[in-house]
Amino acid sequence: NAGVMQNPRHLVRRRGQEARLRCSPMKGHSHVYWYRQLPEEGLKFMVYLQKENIIDESGMPKERFSAEFPKEGPSILRIQQVVRGDSAAYFCASSPRLAGISYNEQFFGPGTRLTVL
């Protein structure tokens, strides 16, 4: 069973361009989470999605950032008009939704390192 996959692993963009980060969850997982690690900071929650639904986007910046998890295909984190402050490592995690379990263990991908020039 392949783990959580993210691509690209490294992405370089110039200021003002768009960045698209992809996340394929583990097989059988219907929940996806995005986290960001800014330089010298810990991992910070951005958004939680189930198939076709955004459940919690309390950690998403109000502008330029959006996320989706369509019925088919990977989850996409999209950053429009990138700025230097968006340079960070973006991690995706996935989890199953198990009946009778009061918590969901999250399995992480290797991350996408975004550099904005």
* Residue 114, φ and ψ in degrees, nearest 5: -100, 130
Kindly tell me which of 1 and 102 has the beta carbon lying closer to another protein: 102
Q: Which of 65, 69, 90, 91 binds another protein (CB under 8 A)?
A: 91
H-helix or E-strand spanning residue 12: strand 10-13
When asked if residue 96 is in the footprint of another protein (CB under 8 A), the reply is no
* Secondary structure class of 83 (helix, strand, coil): coil
Q: In the window 61-80, what residues touch another protein (CB under 8 A)?
A: none
HEC string of 84-111 equals HHHCEEEEEEEECCCCCCCCCCCEECCC
Residue 53, interface with another protein (CB under 8 A)?
A: no
Binding site for another protein (CB under 8 A): 3-4, 31, 33, 35, 41-45, 48, 55-56, 58-59, 91, 93, 95, 102-111
